[in-house]
Amino acid sequence: MVASLFFFLLLAGARAQVSSTPEIRRAIPITSSPASSPENNLSDIRLAPIDSSDPAKLAEAQFAVANGFFSRKQWSVAALEYEKFLQMTTPGQAHRDQALFRLGECQRLSGDGFSSQTIYQQLLKESPTGAMAAAASYRLAEYYQSRKETKSAMESYAQAVTLSSDPTIKNAARYQEALCCRELGEEKEALSLFDQVSKEESPNRNNARLALAETQQKAGNNEEAVLTYQALAHDSSGPMKAEALVKAAMLASEKLQKKELSEQLFDQAAALPDGGEWSGVAALGLMKMSYEAKDYKKTLQKSNQAITQCNLEGRAQALVLSAQAHRQLGELKEALPIYDQVLREYPGTPTAYDALFARLIVLQALHDSALLSQIEEASLATGDPLQRSKIDVLKAETLFQEKKYAAAAEVYSKIKSSSLPEDLKRDALYKEAWSLRQTGDLQGALTLFSQWIQSASASPQMPVALMERASLEQQLKNPVAATADYSTVIEQYRQAPERELALQQKALLQGEQRDNKGMRATFQELLKSYPTTKAEAQANFWIGWSYFEEKEYALAIPFLEKAEKLDSKSFGERSQLRLLLCHYYLEQVPETFQIAQQLSITAIPAEVLQWLGLKAFIKGDLPQADHYLTVLAQRGKTELLTADVQAALAQTLLQEGKFQEAEAPALKSLDFSSEPATRAEALLRIVTIRKALRNFPEADKLVQEALLLQPEGSLNIQARLLQADLFLSEGKKDEAERAYKAVALLTADPKVREEALAKAAKIEKKE
């Protein structure tokens, strides 16, 4: 698609010579009609007499000569001729922008991208809105894109969209602009552009829809992404249809938990005759879903298609799933050769490791001890001490692999005194130490590791041994020695893979010793030296934790956020709790609410519950206020259940219509109230509750008390209005009417007056 677009761009200049339309158009190739193309009539141009005193005619002739070479794809010669033409003209003259564009094309097609870029830029400078401006912008965008200058490419594609009026060019440029936006992380703009392209009939449409769905998915708009994938599948065929169905199925299963829909989509993809590898992936997806659902027979039904159509990695997974399904069905002998096949065909892969582990389980279930018995037989049959020692190595390795560490350690100890080469005996010493560690003999293992370290100073395995010894020292409560070994690995083996783990373990040790600054520095060195470390989440958490402990809350936030993002399972709640407290201590209200919603309510401290509840009450968020204040009340933290808290909780529950629940906090707020105004407010809340619960005598009594406490003012008016409501609820219409009219006379609030008069009028009308 892109190549064809550039072909159209090449043709634009030739078309522009005979047409004044200022845009790139689909055209007949310039080499397809030599007889009709003035650029190809070079002999006529060269033989015709030219008035040398007429610069315009000379320039016209020179342009035709250059076009002739261009049409025959003689790029270097054409470039020289276009340069002559440009020397004969000035900006604004006829054909100059065409000559500039074609000169840029000649240089580009000759492999001189930098020079072509300069020419396209000159063209845009001289003729920013001319016939060739859109083509030049597109070419510049393409050049920037090839150099990974994505921001500049995006801007040039956008300029091409603006300058061109050709729908095909605009569509292609918009699609490329969308790809650039996505690469730059500008997801919102990318979504908009992909959406536009996906609605236009063009070669880019399905690719744009696929990109749109992927961008929606990345932005977390999973429902929309599934719908877009499904729409694409409906309008496409072959591998693209299968890909769309598979991605929709995976998203429906993993993010939306719509297992039935996922299975339907996988079924559709697996059934496609021309879906290629994607149909195999769909079959593998069905296998996994069936296995997770413990439908092992169905797992096996789709295995053949997955094994046949998947790539190597998928095929290995399908084989292991097949073997696992056989094993779950009790078909151990059928499972064993499949595990062997995986081990044979995919050695050293993670899938092979899984197969090996599963195969050992099958062998154990089958009580297959043939290997060890054959080793024993071979050892008895040979009279060669060296050969017997080699058999002992095999025996020890087999015992070691079968995790029979005590027995393995005995054989390794025997090997140390054999006539085997020193390097094999050192290996035996190392593995004896490792075996002893697995049996729990930590001190014995430590002694042997120390011997190995002294005897193998030049061994490339030294960092591993130091790490093992450090770990043992750590377990034996000798942090100083452990730290020294970790430091040796860090400082002397900077290229060793173990250095990463050494940094991690040293930092954790420093944390255990309450050396928070040292821990933070070591973890920061870990992140600096190993940006993709698997301990990134852990390092960020403990760095954030250390800042939190030092009350440097603003510094702690970004590290805790990153730890939560990287590993929510291990550090999610721990990070969230500290993030909650950071935002709370910094009095950052929206952020505190956001984190609180992600945490279990039981994890939120009571002080924060009180703060959140009151903040929610102030901004009128009744559900949130109810949620946090009710939980606070249930915890029974009496020192935090202040008059304000009880009043806020009671008022919240009242406004939600939860009258019975509101009664307890309303009564407590009355108990806490000593000032006339606050006591009157508390009384009115209780009156409202009594009225709702139809306890009218008690309500009448309390409203009278409120009126005595506030003989005038807004609370008095509220009490009078509530008293009128009580009269009406009790069926005392005359008293209610008089009370409403009294409120209308006494209040200065026009809204209250209007409400009171309306209620009085309603009573009169009914009478």
**Which band of pLDDT confidence, cut at 50, 70 and 90, is reported for residue 26?**
very low
Q: Does residue 719 contact residue 710 with C-beta atoms inside 8 Å? A: yes
Q: Tell me, what DSSP letter sits at residue 603?
A: G
Taking the alpha carbons of 288, 294, 300, 302 in that order, is the dihedral positive or negative?
Answer: negative
- Bigger pLDDT: 364 vs 54: 54
Q: Of 62-66, 661-665, 672-676, which gets the smallest average pLDDT? A: 672-676
Q: Does residue 254 contact residue 288 with C-beta atoms inside 8 Å? A: no
Mean pLDDT of 587-591: 92
- Whether 678-767 and 1-184 are alike in CATH topology: the answer is yes
User: In whole angstroms, what is the distance from residue 195 CA to residue 501 CA?
Assistant: 46
- The 10s digit of each residue's pLDDT in 266-315 is 888 888 889 888 988 988 998 899 999 999 998 998 888 888 888 888 89
Q: Is the pLDDT of residue 34 over 70?
A: no
Q: Dihedral, CA atoms, 379, 380, 386, 389, nearest 10 degrees?
A: 40
Largest CA distance in the chain: 123
User: In whole angstroms, what is the distance from residue 431 CA to residue 405 CA?
Assistant: 10
Q: What is the DSSP string of 219-264?
A: TT-HHHHHHHHHHHHHH--HHHHHHHHHHHHHHHHHTS--HHHHHH
The predicted structure's pLDDT at residue 28: 19
Identify the top-confidence range among 5-9, 61-65, 306-310: 61-65
The predicted structure's pLDDT at residue 353: 62
The predicted structure's pLDDT at residue 582: 94
Mean pLDDT of 99-110: 93
The predicted structure's pLDDT at residue 767: 58
Task: Tell me what percent of the residues of the chain surpass a pLDDT of 90.
Answer: 31
User: In whole angstroms, what is the distance from residue 662 CA to residue 652 CA?
Assistant: 8
Q: Is the pLDDT of residue 385 over 80?
A: no
The predicted structure's pLDDT at residue 356: 59
- The 10s digit of each residue's pLDDT in 117-159 is 999 999 999 999 988 989 999 999 999 888 999 999 999 999 9
**Which band of pLDDT confidence, cut at 50, 70 and 90, is reported for residue 382?**
low
User: In whole angstroms, what is the distance from residue 288 CA to residue 68 CA?
Assistant: 63
Q: What is the DSSP string of 272-313?
A: -TT-THHHHHHHHHHHHHHHHTT-HHHHHHTHHHHHHHS-HH
Q: What is the DSSP string of 622-690?
A: HHHHHHHHHHHHHHT-TTT--HHHHHHHHHHHHHTT-HHHHHHHHHHHHHH--SHHHHHHHHHHHHHHH
Contacts of 401 (CB under 8 A, 6+ apart): none
Q: Residue ranges per domain, the chain? A: 1-184, 678-767
SS3 assignment for 445-475: HHHHHHHHHHHCCCCCCHHHHHHHHHHHHHH
- The 10s digit of each residue's pLDDT in 336-352 is 899 888 878 888 677 87
Residues shown for the chain: 767
Tokens of residue 169, six digits? 């060019």
Provide the CATH number for the domain formed by 1-184 in this structure. Answer: 1.25.40.10
**Which band of pLDDT confidence, cut at 50, 70 and 90, is reported for residue 38?**
very low
Mean pLDDT of 496-513: 92
Q: Is the pLDDT of residue 432 over 80?
A: yes
413-428 in b/e form (b: 16+ CB < 10 A) is: bebeebebeeeebbbb
User: In whole angstroms, what is the distance from residue 74 CA to residue 222 CA?
Assistant: 52
Tokens of residue 148, six digits? 């990974």
The predicted structure's pLDDT at residue 63: 93
Dihedral class, residue 294 (left if φ above 0, else alpha if ψ from -120 to 50, else beta) = left
The predicted structure's pLDDT at residue 123: 92
Residue of 111, 95, 13, 109 lying closest to 62 (CA atoms): 95
The predicted structure's pLDDT at residue 591: 92
The predicted structure's pLDDT at residue 20: 28
Contacts 24+ apart (CB under 8 A), 572-576: 573/599, 573/600, 573/603, 574/541, 575/541, 575/544, 576/603
Mean pLDDT of 437-447: 91
What is the overall mean pLDDT for the chain? 82
Q: Of 24-28, 275-279, 759-763, which gets the smallest average pLDDT? A: 24-28
* Residue pointed to by tokens 């790539």: 311
Q: Is the pLDDT of residue 677 over 70?
A: yes
The predicted structure's pLDDT at residue 689: 79
- Bigger pLDDT: 548 vs 727: 548
Q: Is the pLDDT of residue 30 over 60?
A: no
Mean pLDDT of 694-713: 76
The predicted structure's pLDDT at residue 5: 33
User: In whole angstroms, what is the distance from residue 124 CA to residue 130 CA?
Assistant: 8
- Bigger pLDDT: 63 vs 352: 63
Mean pLDDT of 369-390: 63
Q: Is the pLDDT of residue 501 over 80?
A: yes
User: In whole angstroms, what is the distance from residue 102 CA to residue 114 CA?
Assistant: 15
Q: Of 262-276, 577-591, 706-720, which gets the smallest average pLDDT? A: 706-720
Q: Does residue 631 contact residue 661 with C-beta atoms inside 8 Å? A: no
The one-letter code for the residue type at 447 is T
**Which band of pLDDT confidence, cut at 50, 70 and 90, is reported for residue 617?**
confident
**Which band of pLDDT confidence, cut at 50, 70 and 90, is reported for residue 585?**
very high
Q: Is the pLDDT of residue 33 over 70?
A: no
H/E element, 44: helix 42-47
Q: Does residue 247 contact residue 269 with C-beta atoms inside 8 Å? A: no
Mean pLDDT of 740-763: 80
User: E-strand spans in 143-224?
Assistant: none
Tokens of residue 638, six digits? 């009496």
Q: Does residue 543 contact residue 520 with C-beta atoms inside 8 Å? A: yes
The predicted structure's pLDDT at residue 64: 93
Which three-class secondary structure state does DSSP give residue 200?
coil
Residue of 571, 589, 568 lying closest to 580 (CA atoms): 589
User: In whole angstroms, what is the distance from residue 79 CA to residue 85 CA?
Assistant: 10
Q: Is the pLDDT of residue 25 over 70?
A: no
The predicted structure's pLDDT at residue 364: 54
Q: Of 12-16, 116-120, 535-539, 733-737, which gets the smallest average pLDDT? A: 12-16
| From the candidate CATH numbers 3.20.20.80, 1.20.58.220, 1.25.40.10, 2.30.42.10, the one assigned to the domain spanning 678-767 | 1.25.40.10
**Which band of pLDDT confidence, cut at 50, 70 and 90, is reported for residue 539?**
very high
